[in-house]
Amino acid sequence: MRKLDVEYLKSKVLYFSKKYGTKENLVIFLLATNMVYLMGIQKRVTYLQINSTHTKYKLNDIIEQIDSVDVKVDSIEIDVSAIKWQVNA
C-alpha cells in the first residue's frame, strides 16, 4: 500500500471531499495513508467503527479488508466492497 506525502495529502483533501461527497467517504481515502487530516487536525487512526454499530475494528484488521488501492496523480480508487468506514471519535 503506497503512502502519500503529507503535502500531497493535504492538497487533495478538499478535492476528494467534493468527489466523494461526505466525510465518511473521505475517510476511505485517508485510511489508505494511515493518517487522518480533517479540518487541519492530524489524528492517528487506531480503530474505526462501522456505520452506527458499536463494534470497533483495529486499523490493521481493516487494512486487510481493503481489496485494492490505486493511487494516481489526479485520482485514487479504493475498493472496500461498498463498506463505509467512519472515524470513531
Q: How confident is the model at residue 84 (pLDDT cuts 50, 70, 90)?
A: very low
Predicted structure pTM score: 0.21
Listed by start position, the domains of the chain span 6-87
User: Is the alpha carbon torsion for 55, 61, 67, 71 positive or negative?
Assistant: positive
41: left (phi over 0), alpha (psi -120 to 50) or beta: beta
Please determine, for residue 14, whether its predicted confidence score (pLDDT) is greater than 50: yes
pLDDT-derived band at 8 (thresholds 50, 70, 90) equals low
pLDDT of residue 72: 40
Could you read off the pLDDT of 71-83 as tens digits, one per residue? 443 444 444 443 4
Q: For the chain, what is the mean pLDDT? A: 47
